[in-house]
Structure 1
């Protein structure tokens, strides 16, 4: 798998309206009105607003870009963000792939620095690597929280798109709370990630693992996915990218650094493996249970291999992806009704969800 290739979102076409965001500072409404009349106050105020915004952009870039690195994993390139002063760097699991050692180029290093894998957690598409030797002046990024992300916020995406290190693009937060499924390496479904931040900032191959930053200089997400437009034969859909929220990054990275693995994912699970089945018309008809973990949630509720799950709670399930997305909206310990078919007969079971 080429880690520099941004993952495409395997979903239907998404219609968007591109907006040109005008920034209006407090007290500027009257000057703008005056500008339409050609007033001298407005003519002076508008360039001042533009200059203030430009200065803010440049300050954020100067503060944060030194914390964004380029990661070489074999022949592939991706991005990463310096997590702490001990040399830990957070990135995407699909950037590190199966590699155990890496070459990392920081803002201050003339030559790539060696680094090693700490742990990769593909279920959330996050990983942590560590520099073998911490260089002088390594600058950790400041990670924000999910409560600091609002639709309409101006954001900057920083990384190494197409191998162009220290690149910056600009956009807004287009939406929050998106649940998105990645394509798997085998053509199936990869990780299903909830609560993602959607952005209009350009996300290109190589941006994976970089930083999505607000104008306070806080990393609010890790760019991970670019949407694919089915009408363009799987080509990128401009202006639709997704980032893992910083709150989840902190949770996963903190556990990896503290214990060497993820001990509390917060992700609900049934304790089964499944595959998509189709009906006589070759339409997706449900998620067939292939294996059931002994003592797991599904087993305790009486589900068996061969059962075909068609609904989780109020959500219809036609494919493994739809089941994964329905589970992504739940929490461990939550009780849900699972509707399934067994030997052509409809059944339901109450299941207490476990943890992935």
Structure 2
């Protein structure tokens, strides 16, 4: 099994999971949060320093109407998922009761309680399959409630920086909640931790958004103003300089194209048969130099018939570079391969018995 770890390129950015049950503190005046049912006792008041509140313009009324239409169209397709040790969100994928969510939301469970937007009591659901390598999973409702509405998924190629988006889910257990923001960047390669129930996955081509992604939003919907799901919110960034607290306005979603690719295979075959993800087909570990600094990835196991073995690599070799990218950790190795495709050729620089050598490797598949 391939080692599968990575990190974001920013040294200050750590990416924890955004799921799990936790205590919460509600703060009045937080921007962007729109809850389907406001919490009792929580109020927001305008400061007297702000002066008179101006009347909305016609354009503002039009934008507000568009927001309301999107919420009305999509929120009924967003559900709350209760696993044994976590609480997350999901998106209704089709009329047969399939729901797509994050693999870290379902964890190792096979049975779930799902609260749908049609108002019935929580429904039972079973795991179809999880694909931790892409942090995606599909579950299926035991009984499809009347009026269940499948979401419409958009095209990832049409997602552009600056687009207004809404994140829908059950952050901190507050079901049917909506936050708003923009697409801040596309094509990000990020990773989630492997502790606390995380999959440790490195995921390429993610959508970065300023819409708040809070615990419980995982598996929900990132939606454009055409009422299309363009991604599945998965990660929120934290900054060590903030004591491990959230870095405001930095969240990530798995793009809709990857969601559809994985979900369609799981529904049809019960598993993923074509990941589209490149791999060396090795198991490795980070090694350090005499100064105890990360210095490469030692090959612990080389899969028989895999990409590395075919290129002449063997257990004990230490990879130090992929093409022109230095490799110092197992994380940086996965990151270097995250955007590559199976069949693509790369040059691997490695050390064997103290000597440096290179190998031309035709990448395999995870």
Aligned to 1:327: 337
User: Residue in 1 aligned with 2:352?
Assistant: 342
For residue 274 of structure 1, report the CA deviation from its aligned partner: 0.7
Which residue of 2 is the match for residue 208 of structure 1?
Answer: 218
1:314 aligned onto 2:330: no
Structure 1 equivalent of residue 49 of structure 2: none
SS of alignment partner, residue 274 of structure 1: strand
- Alignment pair present for 1:99 and 2:98: no
Q: Give runs of ≥4 in structure 1 deviating > 6 Å.
A: 186-189
1:303 to 292, 303, 313: 313
* Structure 2 Cα separation of the partners of residues 314 and 155 of structure 1: 36
- Match of 2:192, SS state, is strand
Residue 201 of structure 2 aligns with which residue?
Answer: 191
Structure 2 SS opposite 1:116 = strand
- Equivalenced residue count is 321
Q: Per the alignment, in what secondary structure is the counterpart of residue 238 of structure 1?
A: strand
SS in 2 for 1:190: coil
1:134 aligns with 2:144: yes
1:271 aligns with 2:270: no
> CA RMSD of the aligned region, Å?
1.9
For residue 329 of structure 1, report the CA deviation from its aligned partner: 1.7
- Contact preservation (8 Å) 2:89, 2:169: yes
Q: After TM superposition, give the deviation of residue 216 of structure 1 in Å.
A: 0.3
Alpha-carbon offset, residue 288 of structure 1: 0.9
Residue 224 to residue 313, structure 1, CA distance change in 2 (3 Å):
same
Aligned residues of 1:288 and 1:309 also touching (Cα < 8 A): yes
Q: Distance in 1 between matches of 2:264 and 2:123?
A: 23
5+ residue gaps, structure 2, are 1-6, 14-30, 32-53
1:293–1:208 Cα change, 3 Å? same
Conserved 8 A contact 1:189-1:321: no
> Are 1:79 and 2:78 an aligned pair?
no
Q: Which residue number in structure 1 is paired with residue 233 of structure 2? A: 223
Please tell me whether the aligned partners of residues 343 and 364 of structure 2 are also in contact (alpha carbons under 8 angstroms): yes
Looking at structure 2, the residues matched to 10 and 336 of structure 1 have their Cα atoms a distance apart, in angstroms, of 20
Whole-angstrom distance in 1 between the partners of 2:334 and 2:59? 46
1:96 Cα deviation from its structure 2 partner: 0.2
The structure with the greater share of residues assigned to helix is 1
2:272 is paired with a residue whose SS is coil
How far has the Cα of 1:187 moved from its partner?
9.9
How much does 1:9 deviate?
Answer: 6.7
CA distance in 2, matches of 1:273, 1:352: 17
Deviations 1:299-332 (A, max 9, x none): 1111111111111112111111110011112110
Residue 185 of structure 1: how far off its partner (Å): 2.6
Matched, 1:12 2:11: yes
Q: 1:171 to 1:120 in 2, by over 3 A?
A: same
Query: 1:104–1:183: structure 2 CA closer, same or farther, 3 Å change rule?
Result: same
Q: Quote how far apart the aligned CAs of 1:339 are.
A: 0.4
- Specify whether residues 187 and 82 from structure 1 end up closer, same or farther in structure 2 by C-alpha distance, changes over 3 A only: closer
In the aligned structure 1, how far is the partner of 2:144 from the partner of 2:197?
A: 38
Given that 1:163 and 1:206 are in contact with CA atoms closer than 8 Å, whether structure 2 keeps it comes out as yes
User: Is 2:159 aligned against 1:149?
Assistant: yes
Matching of residues 114-133 of structure 1 within 5 Å: 114-133=124-143
The answer for unaligned runs of 5 or more in structure 1 is 1-7, 15-19, 21-42
Give the TM-score, by structure 1 length: 0.87
Which of the residues 251, 254, 265 maps onto 2:264?
Answer: 254
- Residues 1:188 and 1:288: Cα distance change in structure 2 (over 3 Å): farther
Name the residue aligned to 1:53: 63
Specify the alignment match of 2:303 in structure 1. Answer: 293
| Structure 1 pair 186–303 and aligned structure 2 pair: CA distance change class (3 A) | farther
